[in-house]
Amino acid sequence: MRAAYNLIAGQSLERLAALSDGVFAVAMTLLVLDLRAPVSSLIHSERELWQALLALAPRLLPYFMTFMTLGIFWVGQQTQFNRFVRSDRDLTWIQIGFLLVVTLMPFSTSLLAEFITYRVALLVYWFNILLLGVFIFVSWRYATRAGLLKEDTTPDLHEAMERRVLVAQALYAIGAALCFINTYVSIGFIVLVQLNYVFAPRIRALYRI
């Protein structure tokens, strides 16, 4: 009975995609709640308001960085879904694990914004990104082994999907390691990595990743 249930459980890609879209939408919306307008009672001139807005910069940077991060992984997940013929129980739970990590992004972002000069905060943020990469890589590997991919998924496409995740995670790891020099250097490198994946510049060395 249990084995029969497991064979039919979690097969709807449409429901899984709908759940994913909802989780991503909430996580991306929660990010902005960490940005608070200056307290009006403390502002008495245009100059003080400008200074207060400039003081928000350490929070704005992690906000934009995480918004790009979630956008990149949403596109990556959507790309995988477009290659799946169907889902099954195990793939569904792998994707739910992925969504669990997505929901942690507002916390790691808030931690980084609050302690932007601390290496521990940067490493926690990077570990969150690492887990996203692990889950999306495992999802693709599992779908391949379980025969859940479309028949026209060529070896080249399969290799490109895996390479993209592995190269991205290697670059993120380099960015995280740079925090031992300076956390702003680390953040700057991570942002450059993200911009590469957002805009996909046709620079031969970069376009391959």
> Is 198 part of any domain?
yes
- Per-residue pLDDT at 74: 96
Do 16 and 92 form a contact (C-beta atoms < 8 A)?
A: yes
Whether pLDDT at 171 is above 70:
yes
The model's pLDDT over 148-165, given as tens digits with 9 standing for 90+, comes to 998 888 888 889 899 999
DSSP designation for 181: T
Q: Percent of the chain at pLDDT above 70?
A: 86
Six-digit token string for 106: 């507002």
Do 122 and 187 form a contact (C-beta atoms < 8 A)?
A: yes
Do 189 and 174 form a contact (C-beta atoms < 8 A)?
A: yes
> What pTM was estimated for this model as a whole?
0.85
Ranges of beta strands (E only) in 44-92 are none
Ranges of beta strands (E only) in 40-180 are none
Q: How many domains does the chain have?
A: 1
> Is 106 part of any domain?
yes
Length, in residues, of the chain: 209
Q: Which of 100, 82, 99, 80 is closest to 142 using CA atoms? A: 80
> Is 28 part of any domain?
yes
> Is 1 part of any domain?
no
C-alpha–C-alpha distance, residues 98 and 63, integer Å: 20
Region 171-196 average pLDDT: 95
> Is 6 part of any domain?
no
39 or 58: which carries more pLDDT confidence? Answer: 58
> Is 60 part of any domain?
yes
C-alpha–C-alpha distance, residues 47 and 9, integer Å: 60
> Is 7 part of any domain?
no
- Per-residue pLDDT at 207: 46
C-alpha–C-alpha distance, residues 74 and 72, integer Å: 5
**Domain of 151, in residue numbers:** 13-207
Whether pLDDT at 206 is above 70:
no
